[in-house]
Amino acid sequence: MNKVFLKANRDKSLKQRHPWVYSGAVARVEGQVENGETVEVYSHSGEPLALAAISPGSQLALRVWSFEVNKAVDQKFFDDALAAAYDLRQTLNIPRHTTAWRLCSSEGDNLPGVTVDVYNNYAVLQLTSAGAEFNKDLIINSLKKLQNWAAIYERSDAAVRKYEKLAPRSGLICGKLPEDLLEINEDGRKLYVDIVNGHKSGFYCDQRESRTAVQKFAQGKSVLNLFSYTGGFGVAAALGGAKHVINVDTSAPALAMAAKNFALNDIAPEKYENIEADGFSFLRKCRGERRKFDLIILDPPKLVDSMRNMAKGCRAYKDAMLQAFHLLDKGGMLFTFSCSGLVTRELFAKIAADAANDAHCDARIVADLGQGSDHAISTAFPEARYLKGLLIVRCN
């Protein structure tokens, strides 16, 4: 195995079992390495630290597979790691609540770059690191051993692959795709998922618990569901007894699917509207028309995707929340989310505070929300907590 030596005093994070090493911490690489191959990582003084996948040319040079340096990164390694991920979801009773869940959550499950989402009996695999790509066949073999899948489908089409010098790739790995859309069940909500053409792996199963929270509070309310995608939050609100739901998204196919999802749950057509519009403009328009809602959901796409975009993205989060506060009366509820990993919970709460202040809104954060427990967070890798949510009530 090729060896990588770190610079002096750059071994601290690995000793705390954090799985990433940036290129700036690498002193030298011995041998000719291939993109994604497994290397032995040593401290400056030659102490063995980890086995990691190397991504030459990427800023994120090393991603750790194992801190047990005597282990091999072989079929058994992936069998054990994926089985552990699978077992955790059984321990968490996830399949009892839903047929749509995350089986493997990349660094959260000690498998950097490997994400697997399950929809009924279909597994959707996403590989985003050179190391995951290098070991693709082993990973697929391990996945096949977990369950008798109807199909395994690959959705390795995330933009981040380019940083690892990997081309996007999607397609059937084994089995047969369903003839029609997949119908999943999430805490009793029926929803269609399109694993071939949908966003990410087809569906945002990370918001399951927050959708259930919305359902609990929706009785009798007028609901504005911004950045609705296929209407998951809207269906939850309607099933929770909402008076009326408006879903807003810029994607026409997502809204067409939202209409199907409302029909699938037998929600009367007069109870909802699907509007193709920019979420930020729609908020302003509602304010101009002095419209009010009882419950608003803001679940925008990742608005901060790099440190360079931090200020701009935070302004956009603030703007959306400021407008939303104006559309709420006393007792109105705002479910506001950020899926930007770089925006911490504390920063997001500060943005909410600034927005409330500018809107002259006396606001209470009554609950912290976030990704479901199947989107595991390793204690050594708190960055895995990318999804932050706040339930805020207007009190004046």
250 forms part of the interface with ligand SAH (CB under 6 A): yes
101 forms part of the interface with ligand SAH (CB under 6 A): no
Answer for the pair 66, 51: CB distance below 8 angstroms, yes or no.
yes
- The helix (H) or strand (E) run that includes residue 138 is helix 136-146
Dihedral pair phi/psi, residue 158, rounded to 5°: -75, 145
Burial of 342 (0-12, 13-18, 19+ CB in 10 A): middle
Stretch of 59-67, 103-111, 215-223, 249-257 contacting ligand SAH, by CB under 6 A: 249-257
CA distances (Å), origin 228, targets 110, 128, 194, 257, 339:
31, 26, 16, 11, 14
131 forms part of the interface with ligand SAH (CB under 6 A): no
321 forms part of the interface with ligand SAH (CB under 6 A): no
For the chain, what is the largest distance between any 2 Cα atoms, rounded to a whole number of angstroms?
A: 70
254 forms part of the interface with ligand SAH (CB under 6 A): yes
**Separation of CA 84 from chain center:** 20
Stretch of 35-43, 149-157, 246-254, 343-351 contacting ligand SAH, by CB under 6 A: 246-254
- For ligand SAH, the closer CB: 51 or 391: 391
249 forms part of the interface with ligand SAH (CB under 6 A): yes
105 forms part of the interface with ligand SAH (CB under 6 A): no
Stretch of 136-144, 146-154, 242-250, 312-320 contacting ligand SAH, by CB under 6 A: 242-250
- The helix (H) or strand (E) run that includes residue 295 is strand 293-298
299 forms part of the interface with ligand SAH (CB under 6 A): yes
- For ligand SAH, the closer CB: 212 or 228: 228
- For ligand SAH, the closer CB: 119 or 229: 229
Sequence-ordered list of residues with C-beta below 8 angstroms from that of 268, at least 6 positions apart, any chain? none
Q: Which of residues 152-171 bind ligand SAH (CB under 6 A)?
A: none
Residue in the block written with tokens 């809107």? 359
- For ligand SAH, the closer CB: 62 or 237: 237
229 forms part of the interface with ligand SAH (CB under 6 A): yes
Answer for the pair 56, 336: CB distance below 8 angstroms, yes or no.
no
Least Å from the CB of residue 276 to ligand SAH: 9
Kindly tell me the sign of the dihedral angle through the C-alpha atoms of 27, 32, 37, 42.
negative
- For ligand SAH, the closer CB: 38 or 338: 338
Sort strands 3-6 and 26-30 into parallel, antiparallel or unpaired.
Answer: antiparallel
Answer for the pair 349, 390: CB distance below 8 angstroms, yes or no.
yes
279 forms part of the interface with ligand SAH (CB under 6 A): yes
Least Å from the CB of residue 202 to ligand SAH: 10
Residue 288, token pair as written in the block: 């101009």
Choosing from 301, 357, 366, 368, the residue that interacts with ligand SAH (CB under 6 A) is 301
Choosing from 13, 141, 251, 265, the residue that interacts with ligand SAH (CB under 6 A) is 251
228 forms part of the interface with ligand SAH (CB under 6 A): yes
133 forms part of the interface with ligand SAH (CB under 6 A): no
Task: Mark residue 360 as left, alpha or beta (left: phi above 0; alpha: psi -120 to 50; beta: remaining).
Answer: left
- The helix (H) or strand (E) run that includes residue 114 is strand 114-119
- Which residue type is seen at 33? V
313 forms part of the interface with ligand SAH (CB under 6 A): no
Choosing from 106, 110, 207, 212, the residue that interacts with ligand SAH (CB under 6 A) is 207
- Which residue type is seen at 65? W
Ordered DSSP codes for 204-269: -GGGHHHHHHHHHH-TT-EEEEES-TTTHHHHHHHHTT-SEEEEEES-HHHHHHHHHHHHHTT--G
How many residues touch ligand SAH under the rule CB under 6 A: the total is 18
Least Å from the CB of residue 392 to ligand SAH: 17
Choosing from 227, 262, 325, 381, the residue that interacts with ligand SAH (CB under 6 A) is 227
- For ligand SAH, the closer CB: 232 or 372: 232
Answer for the pair 272, 246: CB distance below 8 angstroms, yes or no.
yes
278 forms part of the interface with ligand SAH (CB under 6 A): yes
Q: Which of residues 175-204 bind ligand SAH (CB under 6 A)?
A: 204
Which residues here bind ligand SAH, judged by CB under 6 A?
A: 204, 207, 227-230, 232-233, 248-251, 254, 278-279, 299-301
